[in-house]
Amino acid sequence: MKFGVIQFPGSNCDQDAYYAIRDVLEQPVEYIWHQESDVRNYDCVILPGGFSYGDYLRTGAIARFSPVMNAVQEFAERGGLVIGICNGFQILCEAHLLPGALLTNNTLRFRCKYVHLRVENDSSSFTHLCRRGQVLRIPIAHHSGCYYCETETLKELEDNDRILLRYCDKDGNVTEEANPNGSVSNIAGIINAHGNVAGMMPHPERAVEELLGSTDGILILRSIVERLA
One-letter identity of residue 188:
A
**Separation CA 122–CA 196 (nearest Å):** 14
Going by C-alpha positions, the residue among 188, 20, 222, 200 that lies closest to residue 92 is 200
Residue 26 catalytic? Answer: no
Rounded to 5 degrees, φ, ψ at 139 are -80, 155
Q: 90, 91, 86, 89: which is closest to 34 by C-alpha?
A: 91
Active site residue 93: no
User: Can you give the length of the chain in residues?
Assistant: 229
Please give the span between the terminal C-alpha atoms of the chain, in angstroms, as a whole number: 7
SS (H, E, C) 82-107: EEEECHHHHHHHHCCCCCCEEECCCC
Q: Which of 93, 142, 146, 205 is the catalytic position?
A: 205
Phi/psi for 224 (5° steps) reads: -65, -45
* Known catalytic membership, residue 176: no
The rounded distance, in Å, linking the Cα atoms of 86 and 112 is: 12
Per DSSP, the residues of 172-227 read S---STT-SS--GGGEEEEE-TTSSEEEESS-GGGSSBGGGTB-THHHHHHHHHHH
Which of the following is catalytic: 13, 44, 86, 130?
86
Please identify every residue annotated as catalytic. Answer: 86, 203, 205
